[in-house]
Amino acid sequence: MLKIGLTGGIGSGKSTVAKIFNTLGIPTFDADAAAKNIMENDAKVKAQLINAFGKEIFAQNLLNKKYLAEIVFKDAAKLKLLNNITHPATIEAAKNWIDEQSTPYVIKEAALLFEAKSAGDLDFIIGVQSPIQLRIQRAMRRSNISEEAVMQRIEKQMDNDEKMQLCDFVILNDEQQALLPQVLTLNGKFVDNAIKKS
């Protein structure tokens, strides 16, 4: 089975592209959602988080995302501490999930594939590219945060041009080019490749 990574900066449209693959019957793993699930439900991770950031980051067992985001995206050392707690468990969850799938290929969607050094296990990586102004507007609207807060996150991610150069394929999500034909072309390539590999 082929393992395909799907990455891109904040607001680039990764989840939107992942949904299209999903409608074609391709299973997709969402690393952001998995990380949140682990943070709220894995007792060991939860204890490490409380130890690092205080019990205030949980309210009635739910992660107070706004509060935690305000702490970590302002402070590189605290973000590193958070990443060191969440990334190994999320990478492990992705591996376990991939082992359970049986389609010709699967998609792992993660904003930080390269930053978290989890790209090595994948056969191909798709990057989703969007103009920076669109990304900022989408992220502001989607998460109800300020432009400054979006910029703080962008500064913590790998330079976008560098990220796209590391990808095998790039999908352009500029709201001019249609996404579906781009996804269908890649789907054809991956199915062919999976057949050759088997």
Q: Which residues lie near ligand ATP (CB under 6 A)?
A: 8, 10-16, 32, 111, 138-139, 142, 173, 175
Does 179 bind ligand COD (CB under 6 A)? Our answer is no
Q: Is 143 flagged in the annotation as binding?
A: no
By a kind-dependent CB cut-off of 5 to 8 A, residue 28 interacts, out of ligand COD, ligand ATP, none, with none
Least Cα distance to 86 among 152, 121, 145, 40 occurs for 40
Does 101 bind ligand COD (CB under 6 A)? Our answer is no
Q: Of the candidates 2, 26, 89, 112, which one interacts with ligand COD according to CB under 6 A? A: 112
Give Cβ neighbours of residue 128 (< 8 Å, ≥ 6 apart): 6, 7, 8, 12, 13, 14, 17, 170, 171, 173
Q: Is 130 flagged in the annotation as binding?
A: no
Is residue 180 within 8 Å of residue 114, measured between CB atoms?
no
Q: How far is the CB of 185 from ligand ATP (least distance, A)?
A: 17
Q: Which residue has the tokens 């492990």?
A: 92
Q: Of the candidates 32, 40, 42, 123, which one interacts with ligand COD according to CB under 6 A? A: 32
Cα-Cα-Cα-Cα dihedral of 177, 172, 193, 99, to 10°?
-120
Q: What residues are designated binding site for ATP?
A: 11-16
